[in-house]
């Protein structure tokens, strides 16, 4: 089984050092805060947890090792209280006794990973910062590596290869458009989401960089067989990722690497662009595929090399790509309903979007990709108008209102999780696990309530012009300045009578299983039942 970060072949262990753990703390000038403008504050603060909240509060780490990387083992984990439920991959990054340079690398990896939000990029669910370790809880990719699929099939047929390459290009175009560069593109870093699936996702952002990716970089990193000539010359930009992709396409089409031999031989051949061409194999490859790979991607001059956006428009990709299912009425209705929802309800849906399983996301991800006309990994206003106005005759004013409600980060783009948030409760069924997960992400201090301080920590002093007290009052039925779990459920489901039943069922479950992670929710539910009873009795006519 593969997972995010598995089979990391980066070189050596951490160097000793005495850098303080506090340097990873969030402050107003940190890269983490800067990411709020890219991904929205909910996406970042709702998933980043500080001590005393610990990973073991929410997840149980198993003994199964999924992979080994520079920072140690990546292990299988399950969410507490949910036996047989979703699987996760946990990477532990050591914070003590490491040098400042290595600490900066860790910070960069986490910062980049936190703002990844695309159907073809592995998902980071939670980050827990403690005194000694930074734990990353990631989506567990159960379908195995693209590398293993190549070993199994030997050579991909061109239709299958083109579909795989298109998915990889969508991931690269997304990260490049959002000022990120991967710098370690290889077969092992693309994994299938589940067994029998052809849906690929990009993993491992240990070498990634965020910032001006058109500025020349000098650090030599990556895996030698895949590195671009300009990387060896220590002067490169984002186009190095496209060369590496070219190596992957070469392997998919003919079943072997373009450069082989000793490290010294490989460096010489890469520097000279001398491929190991076997005419008997390439004679079976179409002219379009040959041109795409050898002239388009494995182009020595990075300025003449195809960009990710250009590669997606290449004849070889477009001629064989599968058509995504059309946007249906259900998606349009979900978008309209979200646009009309209250601000706190939208906040809750945004939080739930980060708790959806791969299976739940797969119900709507094709619709998102289909609406992303630019193939940059987000939906622009012009894309939304094209669908909602042309196909569903939705007025321009309403389309603009929908777009503004979904553009959480105010960067003129709808991100994947924004789209998923609109689907929750409409195309994706809302259930207790979603409600519990969202509540816990707001309840930052594990008190069993969502307080004004909690909302300020997650959302800031205001959200879309609304004060935190105004947002809290939307769900604060008891008017006691906090939101209990039953109130939260009632607010989102619209079933006030069932809130008592939900509270009672959680308490009963807690009595049966004292070790359940729902302790704080249970206590709050019990207190809520008592408060509700008093409130009802006080309002009964005399």
Would you state the structure tokens that stand for residue 62, as one six-digit string?
A: 């198993």
Residue whose C-alpha is closest to residue 322's, from 357, 256, 366 = 366
Residue 479 CA to chain centroid, in angstroms?
A: 36
Cα–Cα dist 235/106, whole Å: 23
The SS3 call for residue 510 is helix
Beta bridge partners of 91: 74, 136
SS3 content of the chain, % helix, strand, coil (to 5): 50, 15, 40
For the question of residue 184 being annotated catalytic, the response is yes
d(CA 9, CA 35): 28
Half-sphere exposure of 38 (CA within 13 A, CB side): 22
Helix, strand or coil, per DSSP, at residue 49: strand
Helix (H) or strand (E) holding 483: strand 482-484
Distances from the Cα of 135 to the Cα of 53, 94, 95, 277, angstroms:
12, 9, 10, 44
425: tokens are 């409760």
Q: What is the DSSP string of 388-440?
A: HTTTT---HHHHHHHHHHH-TT-SS-B-HHHHHHHHBTTTB---HHHHHHHHH
Q: Per the annotation, does 91 bind a ligand? A: yes
Choose the catalytic residue: 8, 58, 184, 443: 184
* Cα-Cα-Cα-Cα dihedral sign, residues 462, 466, 472, 478: positive
User: Which of the 8 DSSP states describes residue 239?
Assistant: T
Q: Give every strand in the sheet of 87-94, ordered side by side.
A: 48-50, 124-129, 133-139, 87-94, 72-79, 59-69
Closest by CA position to 475, among listed 342, 353, 335: 342
Collapsing DSSP states into helix, strand and coil, what is residue 163? Answer: helix
CA distance 470 to 484: 16
The Cα 222–Cα 224 span in angstroms is 6
**Which tokens go with 134?**
């930074």
CB 89 within 8 A of CB 111: no
Q: Which of 18, 7, 208, 217 is nearest to 107 (CA)?
A: 208
**CA distance linking residue 56 with residue 78, whole number of Å:** 10
d(CA 182, CA 162): 21
Backbone angles phi, psi at 181, to 5 degrees: -130, 135
Beta bridge partners of 69: 72
Compute how many other C-beta atoms are within 10 angstroms of the C-beta atom of residue 519.
Answer: 16
CA atoms within 13 A on the CB side of 534: 7
Burial class (CB in 10 A: 0-12, 13-18, 19+), 194: middle
Binding residues for ATP, by number, are 91
Binding residues, by number, are 91
Which residues belong to the active site? 184
């Amino acid at each position: 089984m593969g997972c995010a970060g598995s089979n990391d072949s980066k070189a050596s262990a951490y160097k000793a050092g005495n850098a303080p753990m506090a340097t990873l703390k969030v402050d107003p000038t940190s890269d983490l805060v800067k990411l709020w403008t890219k991904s929205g504050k909910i996406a970042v603060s709702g998933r980043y947890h500080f001590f005393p909240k610990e990973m073991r509060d929410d997840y149980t780490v198993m003994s199964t090792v999924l992979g080994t990387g520079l920072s140690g083992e990546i292990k299988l984990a399950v969410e507490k209280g949910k036996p047989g439920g979703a699987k996760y991959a946990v990477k532990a990054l050591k914070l003590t006794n490491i040098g400042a340079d290595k600490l900066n690398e860790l910070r960069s990896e986490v910062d980049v990973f936190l703002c990844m939000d695309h159907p073809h990029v592995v998902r980071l669910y939670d980050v827990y910062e403690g005194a000694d370790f930074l734990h990353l809880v990631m989506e567990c990719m159960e379908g195995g590596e693209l590398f293993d699929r190549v070993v199994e099939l030997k050579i991909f047929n061109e239709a299958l290869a083109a579909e795989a390459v298109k998915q990889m290009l969508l991931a690269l175009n997304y990260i490049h458009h959002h000022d990120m560069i991967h710098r370690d593109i290889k077969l092992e870093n693309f994994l299938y989401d589940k067994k029998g699936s052809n849906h690929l996702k990009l993993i491992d952002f240990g070498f990634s960089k965020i910032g001006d990716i058109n500025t020349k970089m000098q650090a030599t990193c990556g895996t030698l067989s895949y590195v671009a000539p300009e990387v060896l010359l220590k002067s490169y930009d984002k186009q190095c990722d496209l060369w590496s992709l070219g190596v992957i396409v070469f392997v998919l089409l003919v079943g072997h690497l373009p450069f082989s031999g000793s490290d010294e031989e490989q460096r010489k051949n890469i520097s000279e662009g001398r491929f190991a061409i076997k005419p008997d194999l390439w004679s079976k490859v179409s002219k379009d595929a040959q041109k795409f790979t050898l002239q388009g991607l494995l182009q020595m001059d990075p300025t003449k090399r195809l960009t990710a956006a250009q590669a997606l428009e290449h004849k070889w990709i477009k001629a064989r790509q599968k058509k995504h299912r059309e946007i249906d009425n259900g998606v349009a209705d979900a978008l309209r309903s979200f646009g009309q929802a209250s601000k706190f309800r939208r906040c809750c849906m945004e939080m739930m979007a980060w708790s959806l399983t791969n299976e739940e996301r797969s119900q709507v991800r094709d619709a998102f990709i289909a609406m992303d006309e630019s193939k940059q990994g987000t939906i622009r206003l012009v894309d939304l108008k094209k669908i909602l106005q042309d196909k569903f005759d939705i007025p321009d004013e309403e389309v603009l209102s929908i777009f503004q409600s979904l553009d959480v980060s105010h960067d003129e783009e709808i991100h994947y999780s924004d789209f998923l948030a609109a689907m929750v409760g409409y195309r994706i069924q809302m259930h207790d696990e979603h409600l519990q997960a969202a509540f816990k992400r707001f309840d930052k201090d594990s008190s069993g309530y969502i307080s004004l301080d909690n909302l300020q920590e997650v959302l800031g002093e205001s959200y879309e012009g609304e004060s935190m007290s105004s947002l809290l009052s939307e769900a604060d039925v008891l008017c006691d300045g906090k939101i209990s779990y039953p109130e939260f459920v009632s607010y989102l489901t619209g079933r006030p009578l069932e809130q008592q039943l939900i509270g009672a069922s959680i308490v009963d479950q807690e009595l049966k299983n004292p070790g359940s992670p729902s302790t704080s929710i249970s206590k709050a539910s019990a207190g809520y039942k008592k408060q509700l009873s008093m409130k009802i009795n006080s309002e009964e006519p005399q």
